[in-house]
């Protein structure tokens, strides 16, 4: 049951996933938009969500961020399902960051989930994500209108899943290319790769542990006004697993995908609120590719806030 609940964790911020970041002005904080949370670095931003700051900040807020090296993002999201068996939970994200100079920023992302329906066996009411340590380097601030960044990440195994599986760390790298068109639409592309450093190759039950992932994000944001925007994200990744002694059979390809859409509003200078929809699932089932954007048992809608200071 614990694995069942972990597979549906979603977050702001660690959020995917661990490796997430947005365009030009997004370097200092985790994403204001939630993302499906798991112990995979690319499905967690914190997950959160995650996690990258979207362009919801006002001009004044952006100026303030540039003038101070330290900043902190605190987020909270309430996740609700469309189906009675899709458990509700609240996700919290904390992300302090430090801007070393115009090209380098370091940050920490930590997520905590509070569940309201806890399994009697091995259930957790409060779950910590792996702590994500990130370094963001600006390669080109402006090249033909595009901003290009590189992000390196490593995790500390604080989550129950990582500790149970004796995971040492998850390493990852991501390129972030973004451009704003007509001062209204921002397009961001994020190819990524991750690698898990595991002490063992299998779980206690003999199931191979995840070793790596290769995938990409495509994100788009429409700014209706300085305070109101619509943010959409799609992610797809292939997964690789540890080799198990005696298993010489070729492994079927495995992968995950994620779709999210959020409407955000800048309430005041440092406070943003949003409502949205999130769906994540395996994209390869029984050897066939299969993608949906709605399922009563897996789809979630949410509402949340994010405070920057």
Per-position DSSP letters for the chain, written without gaps between them: -HHHHHTT--EE-----S----SGGGSSS--SSEE---SSTTS-----S-----TTS-HHHHHHHHH-SEEEEEEEEEEEESSTTS--EEEEEEEEEEE-SSSEEEEEEEEEEEESS--TTT--SEEEPPEEEEEEEEEEEEETTEEEEEEEEEEE--SHHHHHTTEEEEEEEEEEEEEEETTTEEEEEEEEEEEEEESSSB-TTSPBPEEEEEEEEEEEEEESSSSEEEEEEEEEEEEEE---TT--SPPPPEEEEEEEEEEEEEEETTEEEEEEEEEEEESEETTEE---S--TTT-EEEEEEEEE-
Specify the range with the lowest mean pLDDT, choosing from 61-65, 104-108, 149-153: 61-65
Specify the range with the lowest mean pLDDT, choosing from 12-26, 27-41, 132-146, 251-265: 12-26
pTM of the model: 0.76
pLDDT for 55: 36
pLDDT for 84: 67
Q: Buried b / exposed e across 164-191, counting CB within 10 Å, b at 16+?
A: ebebebbbbebbbbbbbeeeeebebebe
pLDDT band at 231 (very low <50, low <70, confident <90, very high): very high
Q: CATH second-level architecture of 2-308?
A: Beta Barrel (2.40)
pLDDT for 25: 33
pLDDT band at 23 (very low <50, low <70, confident <90, very high): very low
pLDDT in tens, 252-299: 678 888 999 999 999 999 999 999 998 887 766 655 666 666 566 678
pLDDT in tens, 167-221: 899 999 999 999 999 999 999 999 999 999 988 888 777 788 888 999 999 999 9
- Domain limits, the chain: 2-308
């Amino acid at each position: 049951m614990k694995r069942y609940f972990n597979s549906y964790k979603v977050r702001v911020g660690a959020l995917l996933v661990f490796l997430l970041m947005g365009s030009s002005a997004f370097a200092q904080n985790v994403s204001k938009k939630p993302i499906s949370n798991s112990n995979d670095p690319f499905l967690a931003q914190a997950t959160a969500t995650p996690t990258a700051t979207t362009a919801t900040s006002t001009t004044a807020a952006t100026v303030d961020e540039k003038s101070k090296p330290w900043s902190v993002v605190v987020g909270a999201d309430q996740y609700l399902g469309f189906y009675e068996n899709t458990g509700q939970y609240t996700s919290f994200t904390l992300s302090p960051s430090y801007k070393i100079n115009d090209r380098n920023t370091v940050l920490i992302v930590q997520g905590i989930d509070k569940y309201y329906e806890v399994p009697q066996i091995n259930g957790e009411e409060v779950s910590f994500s792996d702590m994500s340590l990130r370094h963001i380097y600006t390669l080109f601030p402006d090249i033909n209108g595009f901003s290009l960044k590189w992000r390196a990440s490593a995790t500390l195994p604080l989550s129950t899943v990582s500790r149970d599986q004796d995971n040492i760390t998850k390493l990852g790298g991501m390129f972030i290319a973004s451009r704003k068109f007509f001062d209204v639409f921002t397009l961001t592309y994020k190819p990524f790769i991750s690698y898990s450093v595991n002490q063992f190759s299998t779980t206690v039950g003999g199931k191979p542990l995840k070793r790596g992932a290769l995938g990409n994000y495509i994100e788009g944001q429409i700014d209706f006004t300085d305070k109101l925007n619509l943010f959409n994200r799609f992610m797809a990744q292939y997964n690789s697993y540890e080799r198990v002694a005696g298993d010489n059979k070729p492994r079927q390809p495995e992968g995950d995908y994620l779709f999210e859409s959020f409407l955000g509003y800048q309430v005041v200078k440092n406070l943003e609120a949003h409502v949205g929809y999130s769906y994540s699932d395996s994209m390869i089932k029984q050897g066939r590719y299969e993608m949906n954007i709605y399922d009563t048992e897996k789809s979630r809608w949410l509402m949340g806030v994010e405070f920057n200071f």
